[in-house]
Amino acid sequence: MAVTADDAGSGLVPFATAYALGGKQLQNLMVITLFVAITSTASAEAIAVGGLWSYDIYRKYINPSATGADIKKQSQIMVCVWCLCMFLFNGILDAMGLGLGWVYNFMGICIGSAVCPIAACILWDKTDGWVAILAAVVGFIGAVMTWLITAASLYDEVSEVSLGMLYAQLAGNCVAIGLSGIIVLVLSFMFPQNYDWSLMNQGIKLVESNTVVLNEDWESTPEFLAEASAWIFKYGWAYALFLCVGWPLIAAPWGVFPEAVYSLWASVAVCWGYLAAIIIIGLPLYENSATITRVLTFKPFTADAKESNKPISTTSAAAVTAVEASSC
């Protein structure tokens, strides 16, 4: 059975593709994969919102002397509130009849204007806070205006259907990212902040003074951070250019894929997925094998173990800290 436009808008293309390639078993695996991905994303989003509220708003402006228990309570409350908001938003969108495709494209109009300002804030010492905020707000306003104007001019109406058309949403997304990026670039050169990154270490305030930390916080040393930054920029840019430029250019001569080419494309995607799964699951287990072994065998975590458990790439020391805390 062919996939209709409504099916595509409802996000059923992955399931139909999985069924066509591997039958019902592969389709069931796709259902499990997407369920886990969506629930983990929602969980991370709820935790992020709770952290932003408890640390950046509650402790900063409401209760500067908040204890760890206060922050934990505020974070738990905000997690519950945000989960309720997600549930309500989902019901509203479903009642409006908006499919996943419509929502996904519209999401870029809403949050695309924050991409360049946030990136500039954490990567460029010239960008001031007010510049980032102004760029994000103006970029969002420009994106919404462009979205509405494009829908009205190309499709002679402003409605749910015209606003969901590809060119209208594409125009809004491009303006959201492009306009905010231009504003950040221009204003940062006109009014440079020239921020001293070393001040960040002085501005970090611990919630409680008796926090258990590693005796040698090697992940926070300037040498380690510089090496990690160089690695990310080197391979991150290469990977992004390959996916955004190289891969589409390779596929462009084929045009509309015939069955044989699509089978090859799907095979490459499956191999890519297996390779990613092996790396994502296996590498952290290998890097933290010493910690995992000591946890499972109930052995004390000694200084030698700390040294032998240093990962070969940038991973968190949270597991090591947790083991130390439990042994204390």
Say whether pLDDT at 218 is over 70.
Answer: no
Q: Which of 75, 97, 119 is the last residue of a domain?
A: 97
Report residue 309's pLDDT band, with 50, 70 and 90 as the boundaries: very low
Q: Which of 97, 118, 138 is the last residue of a domain?
A: 97
Q: What value does the mean pLDDT of the chain take?
A: 81
Do both 170 and 183 map to the same domain? yes
Local structure of residue 151 (DSSP, 8 states): H
- Residue 127 CB coordination number (10 Å): 26
Say whether pLDDT at 307 is over 70.
Answer: no
Do both 254 and 147 map to the same domain? no
On whether residue 207 sits in a domain, the answer given is no
On whether residue 264 sits in a domain, the answer given is yes
Q: Is 214 left (phi over 0), alpha (psi -120 to 50) or beta?
A: beta
* DSSP annotation string for 63-111: -TT--HHHHHHHHHHHHHHHHHHHHHHHHHHHHTT--HHHHHHHHHHHH
Round to the nearest angstrom and report the end-to-end CA distance of the chain: 62
Structural domains of the chain, count: 3
Residues 95/125, Cβ–Cβ less than 8 Å: no
d(CA 89, CA 193): 38
Report residue 326's pLDDT band, with 50, 70 and 90 as the boundaries: very low
Whole-number pLDDT of residue 80: 94
Do both 138 and 192 map to the same domain? yes
pTM for the predicted model, two decimal places: 0.66
Range of weakest confidence among 75-79, 262-266, 287-291, 298-302: 298-302
Do both 308 and 226 map to the same domain? yes
Do both 75 and 127 map to the same domain? no
Residues 127/197, Cβ–Cβ less than 8 Å: no
Whole-number pLDDT of residue 209: 53
d(CA 155, CA 147): 12
Residue with tokens 């019902």: 24
Whole-number pLDDT of residue 176: 94
Contacts of 156 by beta carbon, 8 Å cutoff, 6+ apart: 162
Q: Which residue has the higher pLDDT, 191 or 313?
A: 191
Q: Is the four-CA dihedral 277, 281, 283, 286 of positive or negative sign?
A: negative
Whole-number pLDDT of residue 206: 65
Do both 93 and 104 map to the same domain? no
Residues 319/289, Cβ–Cβ less than 8 Å: no
Do both 141 and 253 map to the same domain? no
pLDDT in tens, 20-38: 877 888 888 888 888 888 8
CA dihedral 146, 151, 153, 154 (to 10 degrees): 120
Range of the domain at 49: 1-97
On whether residue 78 sits in a domain, the answer given is yes
Do both 312 and 265 map to the same domain? yes
d(CA 235, CA 253): 27
d(CA 49, CA 69): 18
Q: What does the pLDDT average to over 320-325?
A: 36
Range of weakest confidence among 74-83, 98-107, 127-136: 98-107
pLDDT in tens, 1-19: 577 777 676 777 778 878 8
Q: What does the pLDDT average to over 290-310?
A: 67
On whether residue 241 sits in a domain, the answer given is yes
d(CA 36, CA 281): 14
pLDDT in tens, 36-62: 888 888 889 999 999 999 988 998 899
Do both 300 and 217 map to the same domain? yes
- Which of these, 4, 11, 8, 78, lies nearest to 46 by C-alpha position? 78
d(CA 107, CA 111): 6
Report residue 235's pLDDT band, with 50, 70 and 90 as the boundaries: confident
- What's the longest Cα–Cα distance across the chain? 71
Do both 172 and 232 map to the same domain? no
Whole-number pLDDT of residue 216: 53
Residues 175/139, Cβ–Cβ less than 8 Å: yes
Residues 152/167, Cβ–Cβ less than 8 Å: no
Exposure string (b/e) for 167-199, b if CB count within 10 Å is 16 or more?
ebbbbbbebbbbbbbebbbebbeeeeeeeeeee
Q: Which two tokens stand for residue 120?
A: 């500039």
Do both 2 and 80 map to the same domain? yes
Q: Which of 79, 97, 115 is the last residue of a domain?
A: 97
- Which of these, 311, 76, 164, lies nearest to 319 by C-alpha position? 311
